[in-house]
Structure 1
Amino acid sequence: MNPDEPLLLKPAGAYNYTTHIRSFSTRSSAMKIAITGARGTVGQKVVQICAQEGHETVQVNRTDQEYDGTPKSEMRTADAASDYDATLKAFKDCDAVIHLAAIPNPVGKPDWQVHQNNVQSAFNGFRACGELGIKKICYASSVNAIGLAYANQPLKFDYFPIDEEYPVNPTDSYALAKQEAETQAKAFVNWFPGTKIAMMRIHEVAPKDDVLQEHKEDWENAAVKQLWSWVHPDATARACLLAVTKSDNFEGCEIFNVVAPTTTQKTPSEQLAKKYYPDAKIKGDMSTSVSFWTYDKIERVLGWKHTEEE
């Protein structure tokens, strides 16, 4: 699944969130949060969890939409990639922005379109926040920022697990655009002092069983090239909200891996690494099905935990 892919939902209020979902937010003060790409898989979950935690939301999408019944929510229309003025208007009076809008993958799309759309969408979102004085920003980057699933050259990795300092090597339009968005964010926190931008390197967003099925159906592209990893939609939404509610815990721009702590496989990760990426150095204990990505930074800084096992 992709973050911008529509998700069928139960009516608002029908969700029975578990205790850990109810209690993860600081609840210190309610905010008004603009969410771009609010119709996407992650966007809809973010809207839900924001409402659950008592925040107001502004759901921003490229085309007009009817009110969906979410408490304390309103609908605004803006194509962040092509209409800066509409984006500025959509963010007006908001305290924070969770910026999810993007073309979700380069498959079957011209490279120029993917790159242009995603780079400009990031820029317009960051610049609008700067103009309006919005200091709390979450942006949906991707694990693909390092160069991964859509690479046009053979994948090589220096080491596992991959942390946020890993050297990037994009060879496709989608990865390049995400890496450039991260560069933009580092510039904008200096351009507008006091701004906090959390760049969330999100992995494939779907329940584990769905991702496992994709891995079985396309082992080389869906499993090997994506390092057998995944992240649950609910966990992703919590991470995005924590990025703005816990922004006092970091300065400037920070990159966070957003992944499940385990792979979809029962095979030990070290065994998979040695078979498919034998030149990569193994750092730490990968004798179990632990993720190929580190996740200690987001746990330490934002207090996020990926508790969903399926």
Structure 2
Amino acid sequence: MPRTLVTGAGGMIGRATVDHLLARGVPVTGLSNVPFAAPVGARVVIGDARDPAVVAGALDDVDAVIHLAAIPSPLADPPEVVFALNTQATFTVLDQAGRAGVRRVALASSYAICGLPFAPHRLSMPYLPVDPALPLQIHDAYALSKRVDEETAAMAHRRYGMTVVAMRLPFVGDTGRLTAAAERFRTEPEAGANDVWSYLDARDAGRAMVAALSPAEPGRHVVYVAAPETLAPYPTDDLLARFHPGTPRPSFPGRMAPIDLTLARDLLAFTATHIFEVRSA
């Protein structure tokens, strides 16, 4: 059976993605720049996703790619390193995949591409809910790298006829990470304003990346995914009135996440199933 290559397989989302593929009976090759405890049945390649020779070797017998390898924020590395590593890895993986005849790719983009999470000063949303047409306000190297990654996906689609889905992932966490964030948003709701308090369980992130390999329509797509409710214990409308005043928007009942998830549902048949139980305020 043809296998799927998962880059960044040793990371949190990478591990969840590999687990989900193996559970479905799909052979997996996991590419990682550091050794990791791979599940039984996964082939492991240790190497740099920026290296064409490493990537070409990892693509042996592969018919689909899930590209996750990246520096996940601009906070721990110099901006020139974040931008250069992320964009070079994405170009190398997609270009080598195209040359190898791979025609299905899911790419990890980010909600942070909107510009708010890592901006040096407070920004306002142009409108809500967040959707793929939202004007971007990029102020940092990480968001810029994701914008270039999405343009690389467009290039791969045009050059190789590849179907590529760029998934704009929100804050992703396991139970411990989500618990800590939820508690912070309970006591400091302003801490989640730039992310509109959105999140996704790592297991759902893995499912979403796999779903992105089989969109209902071929082509190049950009899709937001998130849990349907926020990680804050307060009504969404109250939070938005306080932290995004004046932003054009409809009403969001209860704790509804102010992100348009229609495309994830209609194009990918994906909805989050691991919903975090938020403690009341």
Which TM-score applies when normalising by structure 1?
0.84
The answer on whether the counterparts of 1:148 and 1:175 sit within 8 Å (CA) in structure 2 is: no
Name structure 2 gaps, 5 residues minimum: 277-281
52 and 254 in structure 1: CA distance in 2 versus 1, 3 angstrom threshold: same
Of 84, 106, 109, the residue aligned with 1:116 is: 84
**AA matched with 2:6:** I
For 1:7, the equivalent position in structure 2 comes to: none
Does residue 226 of structure 1 match 2:195?
yes
1:88 maps to a residue whose letter is: A
2:69 is aligned with 1:98: no
Counterpart amino acid of residue 181 in structure 1: D
Q: How does 1:177-196 map to 2 (within 5 A)?
A: 177-193=145-161, 195-196=162-163
Q: Does 1:209 align with 2:197?
A: no
Specify the alignment match of 1:301 in structure 2.
267
Aligned to 1:255: 222
Instruction: Note if 1:278 corresponds to 2:249.
Output: no
* Aligned ranges 1:1-310 → 2 under 5 Å: 31-64=2-35, 68-71=38-41, 73-81=42-50, 83-193=51-161, 195-206=162-173, 207=175, 208-216=178-186, 219-220=189-190, 222-244=191-213, 246-247=214-215, 249-283=216-250, 285-310=251-276
Q: In structure 2, what is the equivalent of residue 18 of structure 1? A: none
Say if 1:51 and 1:57, in contact at 8 Å, map to a contact too. yes
TM-score where L is the length of structure 2: 0.92
CA–CA distance in structure 2, aligned partners of residues 219 and 286 of structure 1: 17
For 1:100, give the aligned amino acid.
L
Q: Is the 1:77–1:90 Cα contact (8 Å) retained in structure 2?
A: no
**Contact 1:157–1:279 (CA under 8 A) maintained in structure 2:** no
Q: In the TM superposition, what is the alpha-carbon distance from 1:64 to its structure 2 partner?
A: 4.5
- 1:307, distance to aligned residue in structure 2 (A): 1.7
Question: Number of aligned pairs?
Answer: 273
- How many angstroms does 1:279 deviate by? 2.1
Return the offset for 1:240: 0.7
| Distance in 2 between residues matched to 1:64 and 1:304, nearest whole Å | 31
1:149 offset after TM fit, Å? 1.0
Could you tell me how far 1:183 is from its partner in structure 2?
1.2
Q: CA RMSD in A?
A: 1.7
In the alignment, structure 1 segments of 5+ residues that lack a partner are 1-29
SS at match of 2:135: coil
Partner amino acid for 1:215? F
User: Structure 2 counterpart of 1:84, which letter?
Assistant: P
What secondary structure sits across from 1:251 in the alignment?
A: coil
Deviation at 1:164, TM superposition (A): 1.5
Per-residue displacement from partner, 1:36-72 (whole Å, max 9, x unpaired)? 1111111111111111000000010113556x3422x
Q: CA contact under 8 A between 2:186 and 2:232: conserved in structure 1? A: no
TM-aligned CA deviation for residue 101 of structure 1: 0.4
CA distance in 1, matches of 2:35, 2:80: 26
* Cα deviation, residue 182, structure 1: 0.7
Question: What is the rounded CA distance, in whole Å, between the counterparts of 1:267 and 1:213 in structure 2?
Answer: 12
User: More displaced, 201-210 or 129-138?
Assistant: 201-210
Letter in 1 for 2:4: I
In structure 2, the CA distance between the partners of 1:139 and 1:217, relative to structure 1 (3 Å rule), is farther
Q: Tell me the distance in 1 between the aligned counterparts of 2:149 and 2:208.
A: 19
